[in-house]
Amino acid sequence: MKRIFKSCTFWFAIASIIIILLNSIVSDSKKLLPIFSNCPLYLILKATGFTLIAPYLATDHTFFFNHLFLWFQWHFISFVCYGLIIDTVRAITKKKKSKFSYTK
């Protein structure tokens, strides 16, 4: 159980859920918090010329919520990937550190 709390993947997943919940609770009409707090999503948005925000202004609520849910999923998955990358780097450096430590 202690290992889970030391994992960056766990904390990044919690941070992503908090960002998504805050975005859902706060009345942000364009739902930009998950996009601009996440570099890959921002780069996708910038590459498309910010045309992906246009569906947020659409009147069809079904399309709006399906599109928004997709962005939330991408946000969560990318934050978990950030945590996995950091945990992998930490594990590799820990192995190298223990390999070079001399015990008498």
Instruction: Encode pLDDT of 15-71 as tens digits.
Output: 999 888 887 777 666 666 776 777 777 777 777 765 655 555 455 555 555 667 777
pLDDT of residue 22: 82
HSE of 59, CA atoms in CB hemisphere, 13 A: 0
Calculate mean pLDDT across residues 69-85: 87
pLDDT of residue 19: 85
Q: Write down the pTM of the prediction.
A: 0.70
pLDDT of residue 32: 67
pLDDT of residue 84: 94
pLDDT of residue 13: 93
pLDDT of residue 4: 77
Answer yes or no: is pLDDT of 104 > 60.
Answer: no
